[in-house]
Amino acid sequence: METRNPARERFRRLKWLLVGIAALSIAGIDAFHWQVFRESPKRLLADWLIGMVFAITLIHISFAIINRVYDQVARQRERLAELAAASRQITARLDIASALEGIVTQALATLEADRAAIFLLDRKTDRLSCAYSRGLSPEYVDEINRRYRETPGSRLLHSLEPVHVLDAHTDPATAALREAMIKEGFHTYAALPLVSKGEVMGALAVYRDDIRAFEPEVLALAQSFANQAAIAIENARLYEETQRRLDEVNLLFQTSMAITQTLDLQQVLQLVMDSAVQAIPAAQKGSLHLLDEERGELVMRAGSGFSQEVMEAATFKVGEGYTGWAFARGRPLIVDNVKTDPRTKPIDLPEVHEEKSALCVPLSIKDKAIGTITLDNITSYGAFDEDDLRLLSAFASHAAIAIENARLYEMERSSRQLADTLGEITQALSSTLSLKEVLNLILAELERIIAFDSGSIMLLEGEDMVISAVRGFEDPHKVLRTHLGLDRAPLNREVVESKRPLVLGAVHEDERWLKPMQDSGLAGELGRIRSWMGIPLLAKDKVIGMLTTDKAEADFYSAEDAQIALAFAGQAAIAIENARLYEQTKRRLNELSLLNEVALISASTLDFDEMLEGTVEALQRRLGLEVFGFLIVDEEAGELRLHPTYLGVPPELKDFRIPLGEGITGWVAQSGQPLLAPDVSKEPRYFPGIPEIRSEICVPLKVGQKVIGVIDAESTRLNAFSEDDLRLLSTLAGQLALSLENARLYERVRWSEERYRDLFENANDLIFTLDRDFNITDANKVGERLTGYTLEEARGMNVSHFLSPKDLERARLFLANLLAGRPVQQPFEVEIMRKDGGKVLCEITGRLIKKEGKPVGVHCIARDVTERRRLQEQLLQSEKLSAIGQMISGVAHELNNPLTTVMGFAQLLQAEELGDQVKQDLEKISQAAERARRIVRNLLIFARQHKPGKKYVDINEIIQRTLELRAYQLKVDNITVTLELDERLPRTMADPYQMQQVFLNLINNAHQAMVADRGRGHLTVRSQMAGDTIQVTIMDDGPGIPEKDMRRIFDPFFTTKEVGEGTGLGLAICYGIVQKHGGRIWAESEVGRGTTFTVELPVKEMDLGAVSISPEGLEPSTATGKTVLVVEDEEAIAALLTRILEAEGHQVDTASDGRAAVKMLERRDYDLIISDLKMAGMNGQKLYSHLQKTHPPLARRVLFITGDVVSADTRAFLERVSNPYLSKPFPMDAVVAAVQEVLTGDGESS
């Protein structure tokens, strides 16, 4: 059955209604027409027919229009139905991509378009970009994305009205993108705004390839669709945002669950890093940095997509790079372009250079940043957006908590493990009390908690750190026992003084490390070290040593490592101290046992060699020394000799002797100080003996202040001996020295007894003993020869029987004072009466004999000095003549200088009228005459033969008179004299001539010694009261007298001078003269410092006048226009020569010595030089030598003047040079003649 369409039925009825209306209209022709019809029926019929046709046509047209409108309405209704259905479907789609696809599909169908696209607006960036397209090429889409605002469609963003372009190829509005549109191939397009809640969110664009406009009603319908589409897109966006938020929450939950599944910090860090990269789609790489508070740097602890090299290099200071920037400010940031961002820190690694954009957020706990998470994109700039930033920030908050929890857990676990380990270590360390085992165990246990390549334990010994245990070194023996002085090792000193750990990450660049290592010879062994940690070992807050660890990797140790090591070091220090106390106790017991054994050996024998042999055997057995033994001082030779018991010495060195002061043993023997040499190669006092020796220890054997020998030990190992060894050997030496000295004294006593008996019987002197009543109790064989009595006759006789009456009382007083313990003057001379009546002059010395502390007698020695006394008188004169001979040169010069002045000016006076100048000349004559008088007086006094006799004299005057004899020679030889005479010195009875000879001898000896030693010196002569005696001291700073010679200096004929320079009688005569005056003379000397002779004379009051000595003696020197230089240290003679030469028409300059002359020669040329031979400073001979080198022609024109032509040295010089000379004193005409001869080239000696 056919179904009728109500609408179409209505339309059909309407059509017939219109036909009926048309018919009625024809039937309703008015009268006019009827009239016409009547008049012309054909015309009327024709018009009617035409009308009917027109009406029918009009009806058909109307029907056609009505049908078309109906179709359009129907079509519109269908489209609306389709759009409604599509809107419902699109709105139902919550996936934005699906919604966009549905909108474009419907738009193509609804608008009958060939292409379509949806553009969405990013409100944050105000950028419009294609979200979905169909039919458009990617190139065109990219072009539109970049230049959308240049298209006509961009107007809708502000107008919210559709945009329609009929032909894009010709429309002016498309001029900017026309070329792209032509290339794309479409003509007509329309853009409809997508509006939601009154705000544009994008545009729907449709395109027709032909020129075919979009109908307005279609566009209006499409706009309605676009509005629905906008709502659908917004809903999809909201859904997607909600879903994204749910995904983020789920991601954060899942991540939190994942990173809290473990408390291992490194695992947590890596999980955080990996999760962050997964959470942010644009992330391709990532890094996680944590703050190293000790270094103040952000260190990469985890990474994704980075090599190990980058992880090590990517370290930032706070505020450095965008990573440091985010950390410092506690704010996240997006870096759209890594390459141009000023906050980027360049890292010169290829894989870092490829980064284009980055996202960085801080990791914070309670507003305190602990690190950062950074994500990188290597393909796009601006790859990250605010949503990424928000998500990563939320993620970072959770991650920071997980990281902090892991850190706290790790710290707690480390603390617990450290505590457990320390407990185990403490238990392990307490398992032994051997210090060596404890030290090695400490290093082994330390490796459980601190990683190191090598480690050491240094113990403090005095001011040195001594390496006592090592681990990890290639050659431990090179390092062990090395001494590092705190004054030379700044790092060790810093640890000791601060009592705190010290960590260094680059010791190979630190001079505080390098120099001590080089100085100690450890640079090669420790050159690989980069990181170093020094930990103090504290026992009761006192540093006892250091613990050190080393790594070849730079910046390896942290402050946390140092604290762990410090905690460990506290336990280690206790263990070390306990072990040291135990070993000290054990060592002390062993030492006491050893000392006791040595004491028993010492007590069991008095044989010196046997005692040393037993001691060496005991020490070797207990200490295991390699090279060890005793060296004994040979006082006479000034040497050390090896005792035969010395161990480890090659046979060829057994007889080797070491001079005192040389080598370590010689230095110890001389200084009396012990010496420990850990490394003999660095000890300047070491004298090489055995080539393999590396260390040595030596202590003196001292009895009081006297060194009798040394104990010496040597080893082939470095640092083989310690301060404890030094202390033990010093203690042993102190105990043993006395025993050895007693043994040696015992041997000497035994030998002395034998020698005494031999000497007593065979001595050349009379030896006898007296009891308290002065009766002879014993005597030797000499007594029979000296007295004529046999021993049997003499024994029991009183000593008075042998003495002359004049000496009896004095002898009894001497013996009585000796028995009473009062001081006596020894020796004293007496005449012994022989049995045959003859007399023998003897020199007697006595010594009190005591028994149980009480005097029981006197031991006497009588020496026959009869012949010696006679010889002394002869030798006294001979020595005096010898002294005069030595003084002739100086005295003659000293005498002739003033005489020359006297003679010269006297002659000048004869040629001039008296006036002011005469007065001056007379004054000079007076001075010269007085000087000559003193010199002649002293010379005659000394040279004249005198009968011995004591007078009441002033010792100071004798000293001054003696010095005047030598004053000039002392000055010429650069000897300065200091005179310190006590003006209150009393007079005394003495032979002035003999005392002058004593003082002259002593001054001459000092003078000669100083000149021979270094050509100059200082002499001090002092007089003073010493108790009731006058004491004269003569001190020089010469070379001193060797100790071996000191005992013999007063022996007759003993001399150290060359043959012909002395008789060896001078000091012997001095000794005799002083003793004869009842005084004493002695010497004190120190080699290299000088010698002091002291003469002590008793003060004897006697009413006698003093001797006065009267002076005597007086005995009376040119060519023209020449320049003459007079070199003379005597001002008067220089003035005299100047007057004489100027009178002859010469130009004269003067110089006080050779040096002044040399300076003048540099400024002026001279025709002639007149020079004295003897002058202080540069003398005439030295000036002549200088002229030979610098002015050879002028050297031939030197005229010498001298008052010393008897000196062998002077005569030899004058004979060698052949220059003319004048002897002082000289007359004026001799000077004129000599000058003339030299200037004319005819000079000869005169």
Out of 608-617, 757-766, 1163-1172, pick the least confident: 757-766
Instruction: Kindly tell me if the per-residue pLDDT of 923 is higher than 70.
Output: no
Give the residue from 1206, 1164, 1204, 1162 showing the smallest Cα distance to 1180.
1204
> 340-376 as b/e, with b when 16 or more CB fall inside 10 Å?
ebebbeeeeeeebeebbbbbbbbbbeeeebbbbbbbb
Interatomic CA distance for residues 1102 and 459, integer angstroms: 77
Pick 605 or 1185 by higher pLDDT. Answer: 1185
pLDDT of residue 482: 82
Q: pLDDT tens for residues 245-279?
A: 666 666 666 666 655 666 788 888 888 888 888 88
**What confidence category does residue 1112 fall into, taking pLDDT thresholds of 50, 70 and 90?**
very low
Return the pLDDT at 1127: 94
pLDDT single digits (tens) 178-222: 988 999 999 999 998 988 777 888 888 999 999 998 888 778 777
- Cα–Cα dist 893/916, whole Å: 30
Residue 1245: its pLDDT value, please? 40
Q: Which residues 6+ apart lie within 8 Å of 1132 measured at CB?
A: 897, 898, 901, 905, 924, 927, 928
- Overall pTM > 0.95: no
Distance between CA 726 and CA 581 in Å, rounded? 18
Query: For tokens 């003996």, what's the residue?
Result: 689
The secondary structure of 665-729, three-state, reads HHHHHHHCCCEEECCHHHCCCCCCCCCCCCEEEEEEEEECCEEEEEEEEEECCCCCCCHHHHHHH
Q: Is the pLDDT of residue 804 over 70?
A: yes
Q: Is 941 left (phi over 0), alpha (psi -120 to 50) or beta?
A: alpha
- Average pLDDT for residues 846-863, to the nearest whole number? 88
Of 503 and 95, the one with more pLDDT: 503
Q: What is the pLDDT of residues 420-440, one digit of tens each?
A: 766 666 666 666 677 788 888
Residue 580: per-residue pLDDT: 79
Output the pLDDT for position 624: 77
CA atoms within 13 A on the CB side of 196: 17
Sign of CA dihedral 58, 60, 66, 69: negative
Q: Which helix (H) or strand (E) holds 226?
A: helix 216-259
In the structure encoding, which two tokens stand for residue 893, read together?
């010069």
Look at residue 933 and tell me whether its pLDDT is greater than 50.
yes
CA dihedral defined by 999, 1002, 1003, 1004, rounded to 10 degrees?
120
Closest to 786 measured CA to CA, from 844, 843, 846, 832: 832
CA distances from 222 to 84, 132, 205, 217, 960 (A): 11, 18, 11, 8, 147
pLDDT band at 870 (very low <50, low <70, confident <90, very high): low
Sign of CA dihedral 319, 320, 322, 323: negative
Q: In this model, does residue 825 exceed pLDDT 90?
A: no
Q: Who contacts 555 (Cβ-Cβ below 8 Å, separation ≥6)?
A: 295, 505, 506, 530, 531
Residue 745 has pLDDT above 60, yes or no: yes
Give the Cα separation of 184 and 143 in Å (integer). Answer: 11
pLDDT of res. 116: 93
Return the structure tokens found at 951.
């007078």
Comparing 114 with 576, which gets the higher pLDDT? 114
For residue 1111, the model assigns a pLDDT of 31
CB 993 within 8 A of CB 1024: no
DSSP state string for 411-435: HHHHHHHHHHHHHHHHHHHTT---H
H runs (alpha helix) in 944-991:
955-972
**8 Å CB contact between 537 and 544:** yes
> Which pLDDT value is given to residue 1215?
83
Model confidence at 1083, pLDDT cuts 50, 70, 90, reads very high
Q: Is the pLDDT of residue 11 over 70?
A: no
Distance CA 128, CA 145 (A): 7
Token representation of residue 999: 């003082």
Q: Is the pLDDT of residue 1106 over 60?
A: no
Res. 888 pLDDT band, cuts 50 70 90: low
User: Is residue 1076 packed enough to be buried (19+ CB in 10 Å), middle (13-18) or exposed (0-12)?
Assistant: middle
What is the rounded CA–CA span in Å between residue 767 and residue 756?
11
pLDDT digits (tens, 9 = 90+) for 960-982: 988 887 888 899 899 999 999 99
CA-based nearest residue to 429, from 451, 453, 405, 457: 457
pLDDT at residue 374 is higher than 80: yes
pLDDT of 1105 higher than 90? no
Q: Distance between CA atoms of 953 and 314, rounded to whole angstroms?
A: 103
For the segment 64-88, the average pLDDT, to the nearest whole number, is 57
pLDDT at 1123 over 50: yes
Cβ atoms within 10 Å of 282's Cβ, excluding its own = 16
Residue 1149: pLDDT band by 50, 70, 90 thresholds? very high
Q: Is residue 840's pLDDT more than 60?
A: yes
**Which DSSP letter does residue 165 get?**
E
Pairing of strands 1221-1223, 1198-1202: parallel
Burial category of 35 from C-beta neighbours within 10 Å (exposed 0-12, middle 13-18, buried 19 and up)? exposed
Q: Which residues of 986-1005 are buried (b: 16+ CB within 10 A; e: fewer)?
A: ebbbbbbbbbbbbbbbbbbb
pLDDT digits (tens, 9 = 90+) for 20-74: 555 555 545 444 455 555 556 666 566 667 766 666 666 666 666 666 655 555 5
Buried b / exposed e over 959-968, threshold 16 CB at 10 Å, is: bebbbbbbbb
Residue 1040, pLDDT score: 92
Q: What is the CA radius of gyration of the chain?
A: 65
Determine the pLDDT at residue 626: 80
- Main-chain phi, psi angles of 320, to 5 degrees: -100, 135
d(CA 389, CA 326): 13
pLDDT-wise least confident of 353-357, 903-907, 935-939, 1178-1182:
935-939
pLDDT value of position 1093: 95
Give the pairing type, strands 1123-1127 and 1147-1151: parallel
Q: Is 90 or 748 the better-scoring residue by pLDDT?
A: 748
What are the tokens at 57?
A: 């046509």
Specify the range with the lowest mean pLDDT, choosing from 76-85, 512-521, 593-602: 76-85
Which residue has tokens 């056609």? 64
Most confident range, picked from 282-286, 760-764, 874-878, 992-996: 282-286
pLDDT at residue 187, rounded to an integer = 92
Report pLDDT for 173.
Answer: 86
pLDDT greater than 90 at residue 657: no
SS (H, E, C) 461-489: ECCEEEEEEEECCCCHHHHCCCEEECCCC
Q: Is pLDDT of 1001 > 50?
A: yes
CA–CA distance, 273 with 275 (Å, rounded to integer): 6
Q: What is the mean pLDDT of the chain?
A: 80
End-to-end CA distance of the chain: 188
Report how far residue 920's alpha carbon sits from residue 388's, in angstroms, rounded to the nearest whole number: 120
Question: In 3D, which of 515, 477, 455 has the Cα closest to residue 719?
Answer: 477
For residue 222 the two structure tokens come to: 């499409």
How far apart are the C-alpha atoms of 331 and 607, rounded to whole Å?
94
Give the closest residue to 279 by CA, choosing from 239, 244, 314: 244
pLDDT at 94 over 80: no
Cα dihedral 123, 125, 128, 133 sign: negative
C-alpha neighbours within 13 Å on the C-beta side of residue 921: 20
Q: Three-state DSSP class for 228?
A: helix
